[in-house]
Structure formats: C-alpha cells, structure tokens
Structure 1
C-alpha cells in the first residue's frame, strides 16, 4: 500500500518525464556505483550502508560536475559587441536569411533581455546549448524562487540563502520581439524539481523580476519565462548545439 501511494505521488509530480539533461551526469558510472551499493548494503549493517550511500552521492556530484565542466558556458554580459554584430548581419536588407549562434553569441543576444527576467538577486548568469536545449544557470537568493514557502515544504528542504539555479528547456518565438523559454528541467538546492512544480518556481521568478505582467499579456505557457529578442528575429530554432535566428521579412 505504501509503495502504491508513493508510486502514485511520484507519477503525479514527475509524470512520464524524469530529469535528464541536468542530472544525466548521475547516470553512467554513478549508476553502476548505485547498483553495487544496493547489493552491498543488503549484506552490511546500517552504518556501513549509510557510508556507501554517502559515497554514492559523492560520485553523483562528481559526475554532474564533470558534465557541466565539459559544456561551453557563456556569461550573460549586457553591452557586448557580439550581439550587435549578429543582429547587424540579420538586419541588413541584403544580409543572410538566418544566423546560427553558439553559446557565446547567444549569451550576448540574450543578455540585455534576461536582466529584466531574472530576479534582482541573480548573479553569474550563464547559458549553454546542448543538442536541442538551452541550459541556464544563475546564483540567486532561494527566497526569490520559493514563492509562498509551500514549494520548500513539498520538496522537504529549507529554501534559504544563495544557491545555483539550473534550468534546461526550449526556446520558441511567441511574436516578433518576444520568445518564451519553456523550462523542462529545473534544479536547485541539490534537488531536481518535479515538472508539476516548475510553474510555481517560474511564477515566483517572474514576480521577483516584475516580469509577470509581460508574461500574462502574451499568454505565455505557465512553464516558461519571457525572453525579449530583437524585432529583426522572425523565428528561432535550437538544434545540434546551436540556436538559429531567422530574419523577419522586410516589406
């Protein structure tokens, strides 16, 4: 009965999607450690089992850190020249129909708009592009993402102090000048937030950043953050570790 209730609760929180991009570093070698630890803990007493569990968690953290270090992260720095250069190419009447951006160029294009979307406490904000997803990480005051505190109760942790907020999701155009970053995975305080709770976190972020009105006015998805883009962009696609911006037709 307990297992059935626990399984139902897990399905309600996660649905058929389990954390992947942000936590796949915890698979591979760490999964093998888990299997070995499970077998061993059946034969050992609780003290030894706790030690193995601790070592297993350390292996997971190490694998996750290794994965993050292998990614190309770029700092969101408003006022750079890379965004002006990319947009200048796209805006020219006789310019290319599209421009493809990797993390450094994408960070430059998103920087000015993202300042208005992230909470005021956000620092060291960075983006990366992996396959078909845009990853973002930033250090925030956890109270800015905790909402009314119910989220912390559901997750079973105290959301206090500063910590790194990690997100992974897709980037889709809503209209010229605005895209939405649909967050598929979110990790904070060392916990993968269940998909059903992600809208609550993003709602708190939008309120902290005073971006809720813009999101509501454009009927964004509840699991999305509004991302301002230059009006020269008619469409956006993410694939093969690149973000492609398509040029708006000029009459």
Structure 2
C-alpha cells in the first residue's frame, strides 16, 4: 500500500501501536534502516524485525489507515547502548532513571510536516508520565545539528559502521521543559508579538521606495543574497501580501533538500 498524500498529514493521528501494526512497523523499519540507512543487510521479504521488538513501546502516526511514521521507547536493560559502551549511567547524573529511544522513522513524503513533532511529543509525554527522566538515543550523524538544537547532549564514542554511524546522546526532563512553543501541538514557528525597535519604527515612517526604482532593485537583490547565504538556497523569491490592515512579507526558497532523513 502506498503512503497517503502529504497534505493529509493534518488529519492523521498519533497513538500507541497494537499488534495489528506489527507488519507496517517491520516494513517501515526495513525501508529506513536497510534501504535508506544501510545499517542492516537486505532480505527478500523487505521486513526488518527489531531484536527488541517484543520489549519496545511504539508510537505510530497513522494517516487514512496507513502508518507513515514511528518511534519506540525501551525500558528494559541492557540498552542497545549499554551493550556497545557499557552502562550509560557513567555519563548520567546520579539517580537518573533512563530509557532508550530508538527507531524513529518517517516516510519521506511526511518529513516536512508535523509528524515528527507529534511523534516526539507523544512518546516524551508517555515516558515522563511513567517516571523516566532521561532518554538516551543513538543519533545518526547525518542529523547532529538537529539533535543539539533539541537539547540532546553527546556522550561516548560513535557507534556503527561506514554509511551508518551514530552518536550516543541523552536529553533530560529539564531540557525537554525548555522546548519552544513551536514544539507543541498547534504551535507555530512565528515569533511575536514584539515591540518594534526605534530604528524599525523610523524606517516605517519614511516614504516607501518605489518598486520600479533602481534603489528598490538594489535592496531586493541584497535581501535575496542574504537569505540565500543564510539558508543555502540557490533561488530566493520575496512575496508581498496583505490581509486586512496587516502586511506580511513571505519568502520561499528552492534549495538543497532541507527535509531530514530518518533520525534515531
């Protein structure tokens, strides 16, 4: 069965997996950690059953009856990282109560949607309600900047092999509490409201630059160049729109893919 269109992600739901989801979990696991990240050898069934499957607690994201994303938590010891590095408590605070988060996988078409946030928030709330205060992960080295942005702290040596290297990391309950409002369900990434700086107010009080003038063209090209350098985009366009009395300037870019691959 093919995945639903990404536009349908808004009507999906996140929930705990049931045994009826096992086949979908094994197939998404295979597509992610065999075909995309070569962590395991291929097989003719195109299914990858995790060695800790029976002990994993899975959160899945479902759209129109199809599982398009998943992430798991495991509380049983030894963790996968225990087996590779020794007891993870060596790097954690005394009396920490850790669990291991693994197998974060999202179908490519849904990686630029809220699926990632919904999965992470759901499983985080579930684990904290159960009394756990630290989560350890093996974060793919392809997304270290993302992990650090979320508050994960690296520890120990990298594990894995060529094409599938992972950095052990952990995050505490206190760092989760610092997640921005953008990480909440229904949250957005827009800032504000904020008080405009005096320099901004002064600029708005001046007469606007005619959009057909050479001065406007120079300003436009300067903004394009700065946005391109900031995002790594090859092409940048500025779109001016109005809604009621408020005016909003939007920018869009076509660049190297900013969609993250599977992460944990």
More helix by share: 1
Rg: which structure is higher? Answer: 2
TM-score by length of 2: 0.26
* TM-score normalised per structure 1: 0.27
